[in-house]
Amino acid sequence: MNTFKTYEQLVKENEDLREQLEEAAETIDAIRTGQVDAIVVKGPNEEHQLYTLKTADQNYRVFIEKMNEGAVTLNEQGLIVYCNTMFASVVGLPLSKIIGLHFELLIPADCLETYRNIFKRGWSEDCKTEISILNGTTRVPCQLSVTTLLLDEGSALSVIITDLTFQKEIQHLLKQNNRKLEIINAELETSNHDLQQFASVASHDLQEPLRKILIFSTLLRDKHKHEFSTESATYLDKIIASSERMRSMIVDILGYSRLSTNVSPFTLTNLREVVNEVIEDYEILIKEKKATILVQNLPEIEANRGQMKQVFQNLISNSIKFSKPNNAPVITITGGGPDHNQPSPESTPQTPTCCITISDNGIGFNDQYRDKIFSLFERLNTKDKYEGSGIGLAITKKIIDKHNGTIRATSQEGQGSQFMITLPLRQKSA
């Protein structure tokens, strides 16, 4: 005989079921978040049984639930008896569908052997491995950290799952960038080889015909000068002067290019001795210009002696060249010990630096060009009035850069110039 329930009875039963579900959900949430340490359950014979959660310490459960890694507990059959919210997010499943699931079902076929191996080892030792876990059809790269837990019910396997997706993406980007760098380095090596070839051509093929132009032009001028008109003699002088400038430029370009490949070791160098050698080399020019060079304390540093001599040659010759027409050049060179206030990239308490200043009373230049003067072929004066290739200061800066130092200039038109060089007293070991 069928018993039909009234509408009111059905509504009442539905409300009772909803309340039971809400109560169950609240209980489960309280257990997961550590709000309770025991629960009382009514048995089939109306008897109440107390279940204590001894293995679920409150702080531990809260920590596991809030951690950024997935956490899973497996029994001896490999079934999931516990997991936290983060693991549910990794595999893209609700908690209700994960509990009781065999962990192997979340592993791609090609990773099963690796998983089974670590599952077996995990009961006797702590171990880790990288493996993929399935989120639907998507593979998520993860690291599994496995250890044994002793619970009231017996031994269980604790698995911490770290999502490696971000790290793998970074590794992929790094590999791409490394490949790009390898290509760029190969191109640079090719370019450097081409530059070396050019330097070789400039050294031999260009200088030889230029040398002949100078020799024969000079012979023509000296032996047949009475046969030329004034205008022709002027043209010949211009040919000789231009050829000499070109030769000077080729030599300077070669010097600049060789700095890129120069690997000469640094040695302990007395800068005062280097400056004295330069002054001796320029003895005739200094007398002609009636120049005065004052040299004060200069330190002993680790440097390439030949390159440092070139630095002082360029700066002293510049000061003499750009002197005022009616004033005898006065050049002052000073230097001292550690100066950590200078803008040297290597200046640290462990790597003291020295500051060397070269000042003159020459024509100076507009201070807005203080950076441009170190550029290749940069000239602030006409080549007709002042000789030179415009490469000297570029070479000077490159040498200072190779010595892990800095160089800067300050000046005012008509007020002379000042060059400040900062160098480490000792070079760092490679």
Between CA 178 and CA 187, with CA 182 as vertex, the angle to 5 degrees is 145
What is the model's pLDDT at position 386? 47
Q: Tell me the C-alpha distance between 305 and 311, whole Å.
A: 10
Alpha-carbon distance 109 to 112, whole Å? 5
Please state, in angstroms and rounded to a whole number, the distance separating the CA atoms of residues 174 and 98: 36
Q: Indicate if the pLDDT at residue 250 is higher than 70.
A: yes
**For residue 91, what are its two tokens?**
């595999």
Q: How far apart are CA 321 and CA 422, in angstroms?
A: 24
For β-strands 38-42 and 48-52, DSSP reports them as: antiparallel
For 87-152, give the secondary structure using H, E and C.
HHHHHCCCHHHHCCCEHHHHCCHHHHHHHHHHHHHCCCCCEEEEEEEEECCEEEEEEEEEEEEEEC
pLDDT of residue 252: 67
Kindly state the helix (H) or strand (E) to which residue 31 belongs, with its residue range. helix 7-32
Mean pLDDT of 190-196: 73
**R_g (Cα) of the chain, nearest Å:** 42
Q: Nearest Cα to 412, choosing from 338, 375, 362, 355?
A: 362
pLDDT band of residue 238 (cuts 50, 70, 90) is: confident
Question: For residue 283, is pLDDT > 90?
Answer: no
pLDDT at 141: 92
Residues 300 and 338 sit within 8 Å (Cβ to Cβ): no
Res 155: pLDDT: 82
Q: What's the confidence (pLDDT) of residue 272? A: 92
Specify which of 21-30, 314-323, 384-393 reaches the highest per-range mean pLDDT: 314-323
Please write the tens of the pLDDT for every residue from 123-161. 999 899 999 999 988 999 999 989 888 766 678 888 888
Query: Across all residues in the chain, what is the average pLDDT?
Result: 78
* Strands 267-270 and 300-303, sheet pairing: antiparallel
Q: Helix 230-261 crosses helix 165-201 at what angle (to 10 degrees)?
A: 140
The runs of H, that is alpha helices, within 290-408 are 305-321, 392-402
Q: Does residue 18 carry a pLDDT above 90?
A: no
Overall average pLDDT of the 410-420 stretch = 87
Percent of residues, the chain, with pLDDT higher than 70: 73
Q: What percent of the chain has pLDDT over 90?
A: 16
Kindly tell me if the per-residue pLDDT of 347 is higher than 70: no
pLDDT at residue 186 tops 90: no
CB atoms < 10 A from the CB of 54, how many? Answer: 10
Q: What is the pLDDT of residue 119?
A: 92
DSSP 315: H
Mean pLDDT of 153-179: 86
Residue 262 has pLDDT above 70, yes or no: no
Half-sphere exposure at residue 234, Cβ-oriented, CA atoms within 13 angstroms:
3
**CA 354 to CA 344: how far, in whole Å?**
10
Q: Could you read off the pLDDT of 84-138 as tens digits, one per residue?
A: 888 888 899 988 888 888 999 999 999 999 999 999 999 999 899 999 999 988 9
Q: Mean pLDDT, to the nearest integer, of 226-234? A: 84
Strands 353-360 and 292-295: unpaired
Q: What Å distances lie between residue 21 and 17, 82, 94, 131, 298, CA to CA?
A: 6, 20, 17, 37, 89
The pLDDT assigned to 271 comes to 92
Domains in the chain (CATH in brackets) are: 7-52 (no CATH), 67-163 (3.30.450.20), 172-261 (1.10.287), 265-430 (3.30.565.10)
Could you give the CA distance from residue 216 to residue 245 in angstroms, rounded to a whole number? 16
357-to-174, 333, 365 alpha-carbon distances in Å: 44, 6, 17
pTM over 0.75: no
Q: Out of 13-17, 342-346, 375-379, which region has the weakest mean confidence (pLDDT)?
A: 342-346
10 or 213: which leads in pLDDT: 213
